[in-house]
């Protein structure tokens, strides 16, 4: 080992130790700690990133307004790399090491399904902003809540709109083969069957796929007149562009994962006219006062427009804060949990929210359309 | 539909082929499978993004700048993580490349964020119809540039002194050194060359698949598979392996099952390797 | 002193290993201890294949996944007792190991590597797409905790005793295998297959056996994982996990049994430890791996052997090293 | 009946006839040497006998059984041992383990025995080690048991190669240029060792270039040139054979 190498190695070891010690030292005052678990690296990092941003913005506003019971709120964000086992590690760390008062996260349903066992055992309230697997709230775990309108509601809404309003007869479905995409696909296919419409093609693609033309050609060949896609915005942008390249010119439709200002930036004019379900209306023009204020504040804070995940995360934190206020200064976790469960008609940025008996947030679903040149408009419910 | 599927497969396959060229080159010079190959593409793509989109330098000027940047970064990377392992245990080199890949990928994420960036097309992405098939100009360019690079690379490796020295150094370091070849420089040069190839792949695909920190992961893996499929000691094989994988993937999605797309492609690859263990164009072991 | 060390080192290590749940009650630490055991078993299993036999594999997570799904499906869908799952997981994984081992008749080095990589991809897609069996990407919930009599191993602490016991079992298997006629045959194949055949070793048979044993142990690790997390989904068995296992083996030291264990513990804990680096966590992790292989090419196993030799005052014969040092890579 | 017999053994590589129609009969207990110029096909012939190459035509018969299509390891089991021209030791294993590998096909313990460490396995291992120690003593490697093979001197490595081959308990031992690269002292002990091997009742089939050695210990000699047998007989007969002198001895300075 060279001299330089030894020095570097020694320095690294010192840095490890120093940083660890720094992490352990406790602050003077006793703030309320919110743990965030999210994929901050890997393929879903972009979603994890806005999740943290949304919560952080809410916390900033809460602190500016005097905190909760006069106490400051801080957050600790941990990366789970979207791997269930690592998610469990991260939540364990938040719950037992950092002793957080509540957990917000994570993105991927499979990771949430794994890590919610930890908060259940420890008795710590947890809100997942966007994990969409219906099972999460159906396993009898009283400590987990979800803000995202479930896939069931979203997918049904878009299918009904497509069949009833757009008169689509030969729809096709393309979905990413993970829990989010598969979950949405299942509901779409079932709902289409209920409406006596047969999908002409149902195609999957891997979450890291970049070329979907094989699937799209098959869809084109099947004579589809509408395409449901259940995926995130980056892949949706690829699909929109590749569909155009192979001459597949049909109505594109999807779920909440598509709502992101980046979509139009990436897909360009291929994204114009795209329809998707949402509870958060991302365009200041025509948004509710709450949403408009949020979009403003978010843009000011981060220099970018929020996506729906940021909005869900923001609302998650706000509902959590309300519940903590209601639960009294002791912040008894059970009381906080019950207070979250008792949320009724909360006017959040993602709509008017009521938590149902399972812990799901119920509210009206909008169908929004990307306008030519960018921006959104609501097409359903009709105004 | 079949012809169209094949054409689309050739388009993505060219990208795999371009990546595979880098693997083949690295194999020939360093006798290592370089798991950070995909990150060369990422570096290339981000370089052109920074010069062209952020600094607004015209593409013609930004292109060489991006290649030069990648070359310099490539040199630094090999100096940091690859050169110290020359003559060491090969699998350690492999793990070093894995570590380097993790490092570069996450560094890019820290600097540029996890979101993808769009990149304007240079060659045109409006499809042109020929007969009843649609062809996208930029895909044709990618394939053409891929083959041009194969020819250039072959000429370079077999006709120039530097190229021959590179191969000699790869085959037998000690003898090459005795013959007066500066082995370490030669290997560094190959690395830089391989990085440039990766960078070219990266900036060619930037308009098609966007620019993002982990873009190298998926095309890197498939580039690796293509290189092995084609035969690691053949640059022509690398390109052919890439095209074959691309077409197989597309046909699998179009005719068999999109859910099992990668599984079908890899099964066919395994079958080919069982019958031709040295890869399609590789020399017998 | 040295005699004392030689006599009691194993016992002391065992006591220490079993005392972890007594020394700490922090569930976070205990969960990590469980994960470290699981990955140590995986790393050892890979070492038997790559370190001992010289067969390169980049698809080990597939066996891990096969074990995890076998055991969970038996418990969740068939309602079988958990322990049956623990028995079935290695058996099913071993069958797949034999299937994958057969191409080794013709393939070497990285060409074999790419086949194992492909196998990993294929198995992952099977987990994702065979929804009627695996429940696809949504994952299998409700994987039960094992129980011994009336004690349910549903806390990290109690589960740890199972994890560490299986790890100890794996270590014993690895050592016994290594210092036996079979183990020598594996090493001989790694060292020089031509010469091994000349010694009357049926290299095909032993290579397939190495795949089989390695897969069985990885399958067992899978079952251990499934019942700890109590949830199984395909993301846990992607190729990136195979690559992690490979890194653990190399950082620990190819061919070194204690190295495998320490390598797995290190690379399980380091990313957790690095959490305080925030955003730069994985950058530092990547850097750490690069530095490890540059400055400690023999892996941690090399240090351990040296320290052990110093403490026990012997230059013991135990240099089982080499692995894919030559040829394969 | 001859111990080892080949009938019309032939193989060609890309049109070059490396071994062509070679008939050979090695009797039990003799030292039989194959000589010939470089590239005459001697090692190729060994590889055919041991099964590393598949013959294009012809047969290999050992103890009356046709073994032409058996795999190499199977032939070892039947009693054909070999050493290598280019050393192929298990470099990162100890001397003792190298020789123990040689014992492989004479031991029985299997995977289950190894994992359960049955008493039969333990006993077998101990007996095996004892046997191997004797062999190491036989070739003069006492006290080197725990050295790594790669750390031995060249001469010692050559001896280990022979010890390892002896451990397979062969009836016939094929030695491929055992004297190559040895110094005078090692050479003398090698000559002695080959004779002692024969005294143990093992037939020796030798490839060798060192003529003094060949002429002094061989019972019979076969001469190969361009893959064909050009002469066979006792050392004296071969020495006087016109064809041999022309093809081989004449050219050898």
ipTM of this complex prediction, to 2 decimal places: 0.87
One domain, residues A66 and A123: yes
pLDDT at B269 (0 to 100): 84
Q: Do chains C and D touch (3 or more CB pairs under 8 A)?
A: yes
Least confident range of A345-349, B33-37, C178-182, C246-250: B33-37
Residue D250 lies in a domain: yes
Q: Is C131 on the interface with A (CB under 8 A)?
A: yes
What is the tens place of the pLDDT at every residue in A139-153?
Answer: 999 999 999 887 888
What is the tens place of the pLDDT at every residue in C187-231?
Answer: 999 999 989 999 999 999 999 999 999 999 999 999 999 999 999
The model's pTM: 0.89
Containing structural domain, residue D228 = 1-78+209-253
pLDDT at C329 (0 to 100): 31
Q: Is A249 on the interface with B (CB under 8 A)?
A: no
Residue A71 lies in a domain: yes
Q: Is C283 on the interface with A (CB under 8 A)?
A: no
When the pLDDT of each residue in chain A is averaged and rounded to a whole number, the result is 89
Neighbour tally for D134: CB within 10 Å: 12
Residue D62 lies in a domain: yes
One domain, residues A156 and A271: yes
- Contact of B238 with B154, CB cutoff 8 Å: no
Q: How far is CA C120 from each of CA C96, C245, D12, rounded to the nearest angstrom?
A: 11, 13, 41
In terms of average pLDDT, the best of A292-301, B218-227, C5-14 is A292-301
Least confident range of A96-110, B270-284, D31-45: B270-284
Give the CB-side neighbour count of residue A237, counting CA atoms within 13 A.
23
**Domain count of the fold of chain D:** 1
Count each helix (H run) and each strand (E run) in chain C, helices first. Answer: 14, 4
Neighbour tally for D141: CB within 10 Å: 23
Q: How far is D87 from chain C (nearest CA, A)?
A: 9
Do the Cβ atoms of C141 and A1 come within 8 Å? no
Closest residue in C to D84 (Cα) is: C195
Q: How far is B201 from chain C (nearest CA, A)?
A: 22
One domain, residues A175 and A140: no
Closest residue in C to B101 (Cα) is: C286
Q: What is the 3-state secondary structure (H, E, C) of A304-344?
A: CCCCHHHHHHHHHHHHHHHHHHHCCCCCCHHHHHHHHHCCC
Residue A16 lies in a domain: no
Close Cβ partners of B132 (under 8 Å, ≥ 6 residues apart):
none
Do the Cβ atoms of B225 and C118 come within 8 Å? yes
Task: Determine the longest span between alpha carbons in chain B, in angstroms.
Answer: 60
Residue A303 lies in a domain: yes
What token pair was written down for C248?
């653990």
One domain, residues A99 and A195: no
Whole-angstrom distance, CA of residue D64 vs CA of residue D5:
8
Residue D68 lies in a domain: yes
Residue D133 lies in a domain: no
Q: Mutating which of D91, D98, D114, D168 best tests the C interface, going by the most C Cβ atoms within 10 A?
A: D114
ω into A381 cis (within 30 of 0): yes
DSSP single-letter state for residue A350: T
Residue D136 parent element (H or E):
helix D119-138
pLDDT at D78 (0 to 100): 93
Q: Which residues of A touch C233 (CB under 8 A)?
A: 84, 110, 113-114, 179
Q: Is A49 on the interface with B (CB under 8 A)?
A: yes
One domain, residues A96 and A182: no
Whole-angstrom distance, CA of residue C63 vs CA of residue C218:
6
What token pair was written down for A369?
């359309």
A20: confidence class by pLDDT, cuts 50, 70, 90: very low
What is the tens place of the pLDDT at every residue in D73-84?
Answer: 999 999 999 998
DSSP single-letter state for residue A148: S
Q: How far is C177 from chain D (nearest CA, A)?
A: 6
Residue D216 lies in a domain: yes
Q: Mutating which of B270, B271, B280, B285 best tests the C interface, going by the most C Cβ atoms within 10 A?
A: B270
Among A46, A215, A244, beta carbon nearest to B115: A46
Q: Which residues of A touch C236 (CB under 8 A)?
A: 83-85
- Contact of A177 with A43, CB cutoff 8 Å: no
Q: How far is C162 from chain B (nearest CA, A)?
A: 31
Q: Mutating which of A85, A121, A185 best tests the C interface, going by the most C Cβ atoms within 10 A?
A: A85
**Domain count of the fold of chain A:** 2
pLDDT at D248 (0 to 100): 64
One domain, residues A168 and A197: yes
Least confident range of A11-15, A18-22, B52-56, B101-105: A18-22
Q: Which residues of B touch A211 (CB under 8 A)?
A: 8, 11-12, 209, 246, 249-250
DSSP single-letter state for residue A372: T
Could you give the domains of chain C?
Answer: 2-314 (1.10.3470)
Q: Which residue has the higher pLDDT, A41 or C105?
A: A41
pLDDT at A57 (0 to 100): 97
C181: confidence class by pLDDT, cuts 50, 70, 90: very high
pLDDT at D239 (0 to 100): 85
C327: confidence class by pLDDT, cuts 50, 70, 90: very low
One domain, residues A140 and A158: no
Do the Cβ atoms of D121 and C187 come within 8 Å? no
Do the Cβ atoms of A246 and B212 come within 8 Å? no
C75: confidence class by pLDDT, cuts 50, 70, 90: very high
Q: How far is CA C261 from each of CA A307, C244, C292, D20, rounded to the nearest angstrom?
A: 44, 14, 16, 56
Beta bridge mates, D31? D204
Q: How far is C328 from chain A (nearest CA, A)?
A: 26
Among B107, B224, B285, beta carbon nearest to C108: B285
Q: Is the pLDDT of residue A21 over 50?
A: no
Least confident range of B149-153, B275-279, C172-176: B275-279
Containing structural domain, residue A78 = 32-149+286-364
One domain, residues A252 and A304: no
Residue A235 lies in a domain: yes
Among C26, C129, C288, beta carbon nearest to A96: C26
Nearest to A121 by CA among B252, C67, C229: C229
Q: Is the pLDDT of residue A14 over 70?
A: no
pLDDT at D195 (0 to 100): 93
Residue A223 lies in a domain: yes
Residue D44 lies in a domain: yes
Among C56, C115, C285, beta carbon nearest to B270: C115
Positive or negative, the CA dihedral B27, B29, B31, B36 is negative
Residue A369 lies in a domain: no
Residue D228 lies in a domain: yes
Whole-angstrom distance, CA of residue D201 vs CA of residue D31:
11
Q: Do chains B and D touch (3 or more CB pairs under 8 A)?
A: no
Indicate the burial class of C285 (C-beta count within 10 angstroms; 0-12, 13-18, 19 or more): buried
Q: How far is A27 from chain B (nearest CA, A)?
A: 27
Residue D142 lies in a domain: no
Among C182, C195, C321, beta carbon nearest to D114: C182
One domain, residues A133 and A163: no
One domain, residues A143 and A213: no
A22: confidence class by pLDDT, cuts 50, 70, 90: very low
When the pLDDT of each residue in chain C is averaged and rounded to a whole number, the result is 89
Among B88, B257, B274, beta carbon nearest to C103: B274
What is the tens place of the pLDDT at every residue in B243-265?
Answer: 999 999 999 988 888 888 888 88
CATH number at residue D26: 3.40.50.300
CATH number at residue A208: 3.40.50.2300
* Percent above pLDDT 90 for chain D: 63
**Touching chains, B (3+ CB pairs < 8 A):** A, C
Q: Is the pLDDT of residue C161 over 80?
A: yes
Closest residue in C to D47 (Cα) is: C198
Residue A380 lies in a domain: no
Among A22, A77, A113, beta carbon nearest to C141: A113
pLDDT at D50 (0 to 100): 93
Closest residue in D to C172 (Cα) is: D115
DSSP single-letter state for residue B272: H
Among B109, B127, B253, beta carbon nearest to A41: B109
Indicate the burial class of D204 (C-beta count within 10 angstroms; 0-12, 13-18, 19 or more): buried
Q: Is the pLDDT of residue C322 over 80?
A: no
Q: Is the pLDDT of residue C250 over 80?
A: yes
What is the tens place of the pLDDT at every residue in A194-250?
Answer: 999 999 999 999 888 888 999 999 999 999 999 999 999 999 999 999 999 889 999
């Amino acid at each position: 080992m060279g001299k330089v190498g030894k020095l570097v190695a020694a320095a690294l070891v010192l840095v490890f130790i120093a940083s660890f010690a720094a992490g352990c030292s406790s602050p003077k005052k006793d703030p309320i700690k919110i743990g965030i678990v999210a994929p901050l690296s890997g393929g879903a990092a972009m979603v994890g990133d806005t999740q943290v941003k949304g919560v952080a913005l809410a916390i900033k506003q809460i602190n500016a307004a005097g905190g909760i019971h006069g106490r400051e709120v801080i957050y600790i964000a941990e990366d789970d790399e979207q791997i269930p086992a690592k998610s469990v590690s991260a939540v364990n760390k938040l719950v037992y090491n950092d002793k957080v008062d509540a957990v917000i996260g994570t993105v991927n349903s499979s990771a949430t399904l794994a890590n919610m066992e930890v908060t259940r055992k420890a008795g710590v309230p947890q809100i997942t902003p966007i994990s969409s697997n219906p099972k999460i709230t159906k396993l009898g775990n009283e400590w987990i809540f979800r803000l995202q309108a479930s896939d069931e509601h979203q997918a049904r809404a878009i299918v009904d709109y497509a069949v009833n309003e757009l008169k689509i007869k030969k729809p096709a479905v393309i979905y990413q083969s993970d829990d989010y995409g598969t979950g949405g696909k299942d509901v779409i296919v079932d709902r289409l069957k209920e409406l006596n419409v047969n999908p002409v093609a149902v195609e999957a693609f891997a979450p890291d796929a970049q070329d979907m033309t094989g699937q799209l050609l098959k869809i084109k060949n099947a004579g589809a007149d509408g395409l449901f896609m259940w995926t995130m915005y980056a892949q949706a942008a690829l699909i929109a562009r590749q569909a155009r390249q192979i001459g597949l010119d049909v109505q594109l439709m999807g779920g909440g994962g598509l709502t992101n200002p980046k979509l139009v930036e990436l897909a360009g004019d291929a994204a114009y006219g795209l329809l998707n379900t949402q509870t958060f209306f991302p365009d200041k023009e025509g948004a509710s006062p709450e949403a408009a204020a949020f979009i403003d504040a978010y843009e000011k804070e981060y220099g970018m427009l929020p996506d729906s995940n940021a909005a869900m995360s923001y609302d998650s934190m706000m509902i959590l804060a309300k519940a903590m206020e209601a639960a009294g200064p002791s912040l008894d976790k059970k009381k906080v949990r019950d207070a979250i469960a008792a949320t009724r008609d909360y006017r959040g940025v993602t709509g008017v929210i009521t938590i149902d008996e399972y812990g799901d947030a119920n509210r009206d679903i909008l169908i929004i359309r990307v306008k030519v040149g960018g921006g959104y408009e609501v097409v359903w419910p009709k105004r | 539909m079949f012809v169209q599927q094949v054409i689309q497969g050739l388009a993505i396959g060219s990208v795999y082929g371009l990546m595979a060229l880098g693997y083949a080159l690295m194999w020939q010079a360093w006798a290592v499978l370089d798991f950070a190959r995909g990150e060369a593409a990422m570096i290339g793509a981000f370089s052109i993004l920074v010069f062209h989109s952020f600094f607004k330098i015209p593409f013609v000027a930004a292109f060489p700048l991006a290649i030069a940047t990648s070359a310099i970064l490539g040199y630094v990377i090999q100096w940091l993580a690859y050169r110290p392992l020359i003559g060491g245990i090969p699998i350690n080199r492999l793990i070093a490349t894995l570590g380097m890949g993790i490092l570069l990928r996450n560094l890019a994420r820290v600097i540029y964020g996890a979101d993808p960036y769009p990149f304007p097309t240079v060659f045109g992405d409006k499809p042109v119809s020929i007969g009843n098939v649609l062809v996208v100009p930029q895909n044709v360019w990618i394939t053409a540039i891929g083959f041009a690079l194969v020819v250039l690379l072959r000429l370079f490796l077999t006709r120039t002194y530097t190229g021959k020295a590179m191969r000699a150094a790869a085959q037998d370091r000690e003898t090459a050194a005795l013959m007066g070849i500066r082995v370490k420089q030669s290997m560094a040069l190959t690395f830089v060359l391989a990085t440039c190839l990766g960078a070219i792949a990266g900036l060619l695909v930037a308009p098609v698949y966007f620019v993002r920190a982990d873009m190298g992961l998926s095309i890197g893996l498939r580039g690796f598979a293509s290189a092995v499929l084609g035969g690691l000691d053949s640059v022509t094989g690398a390109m052919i392996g890439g095209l074959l994988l691309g077409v197989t993937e597309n046909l699998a999605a179009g005719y068999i099952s999109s859910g099992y797309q990668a599984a079908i492609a890899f099964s066919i690859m395994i079958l080919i390797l069982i019958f031709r263990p040295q890869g399609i164009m590789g020399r017998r072991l | 002193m040295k005699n004392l060390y030689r006599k009691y080192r194993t016992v002391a290590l065992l006591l220490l290993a079993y005392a972890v749940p007594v020394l700490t009650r922090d569930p976070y630490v205990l969960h990590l201890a469980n994960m470290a055991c699981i990955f140590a078993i995986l790393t050892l299993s890979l070492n038997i294949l790559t370190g001992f036999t010289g067969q390169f594999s980049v698809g080990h997570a597939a066996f891990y996944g096969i074990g995890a799904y076998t055991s969970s499906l038996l418990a969740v869908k068939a309602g079988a007792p958990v322990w049956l799952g623990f028995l079935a997981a290695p058996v099913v994984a071993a069958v797949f190991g034999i299937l994958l081992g057969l191409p080794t008749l013709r393939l070497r080095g990285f060409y074999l590597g790419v086949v194992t990589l492909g196998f990993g991809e294929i198995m992952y897609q099977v987990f994702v797409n065979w929804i009627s069996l695996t429940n696809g990407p949504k994952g299998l919930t409700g994987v039960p905790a094992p129980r011994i009599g009336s004690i349910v191993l549903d806390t990290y602490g109690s589960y740890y005793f199972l994890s560490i016991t299986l790890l100890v079992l794996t270590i014993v298997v690895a050592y016994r295998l290594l210092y036996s006629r079979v183990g020598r045959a594996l090493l001989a194949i790694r060292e020089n297959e031509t010469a091994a055949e000349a010694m009357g070793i049926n290299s095909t048979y032993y290579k397939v056996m190495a795949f089989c044993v390695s897969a069985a142990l990885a399958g067992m690790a899978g079952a251990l994982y499934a019942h700890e997390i109590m949830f199984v989904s395909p993301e846990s068995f992607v190729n990136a996990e195979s690559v992690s296992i490979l890194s653990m083996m190399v950082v620990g030291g190819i061919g070194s049994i204690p190295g495998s264990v320490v390598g797995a513990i290190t690379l399980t804990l380091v990313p957790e430890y690095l959490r305080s680096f925030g955003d730069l966590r994985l950058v530092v992790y990547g850097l750490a791996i690069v530095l490890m292989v540059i400055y400690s090419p023999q892996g941690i196993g090399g240090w351990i052997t040296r320290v052990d030799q110093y403490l026990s005052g012997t230059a013991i014969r135990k240099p089982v090293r080499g692995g894919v040092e030559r040829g394969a890579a | 009946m001859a111990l080892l017999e080949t009938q019309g053994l032939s193989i060609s590589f890309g049109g070059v006839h490396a071994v062509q129609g070679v008939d050979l009969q090695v009797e039990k207990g003799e030292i039989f040497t194959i000589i010939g110029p470089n590239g005459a096909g001697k090692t190729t012939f060994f590889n055919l006998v041991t099964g590393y190459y598949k013959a294009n035509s012809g047969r290999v018969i050992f103890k009356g059984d046709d073994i032409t299509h058996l795999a190499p390891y199977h032939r070892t089991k039947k009693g054909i041992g070999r050493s290598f021209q280019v050393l192929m030791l298990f470099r990162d294993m100890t001397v003792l383990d190298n020789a123990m590998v040689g014992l492989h096909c004479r031991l029985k313990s299997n995977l289950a025995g190894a994992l359960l460490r049955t008493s039969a396995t333990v006993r077998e291992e101990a007996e095996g080690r004892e046997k191997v120690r004797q062999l190491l003593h036989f070739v003069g490697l006492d006290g080197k048991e725990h050295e790594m093979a790669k750390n031995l001197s060249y001469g010692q490595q050559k001896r280990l190669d022979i010890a390892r081959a002896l451990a397979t308990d062969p009836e016939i031992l094929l030695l491929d240029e055992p004297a190559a690269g040895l110094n005078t002292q090692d050479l003398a002990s090698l000559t002695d060792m080959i004779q002692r091997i024969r005294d143990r009742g093992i037939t020796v089939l030798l490839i060798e270039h060192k003529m003094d050695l060949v002429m002094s210990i061989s019972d019979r000699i076969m001469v190969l040139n361009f893959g064909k047998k050009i002469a066979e007989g006792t050392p004296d007969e071969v020495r006087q054979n016109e064809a041999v002198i022309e093809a081989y001895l004449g050219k050898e300075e």
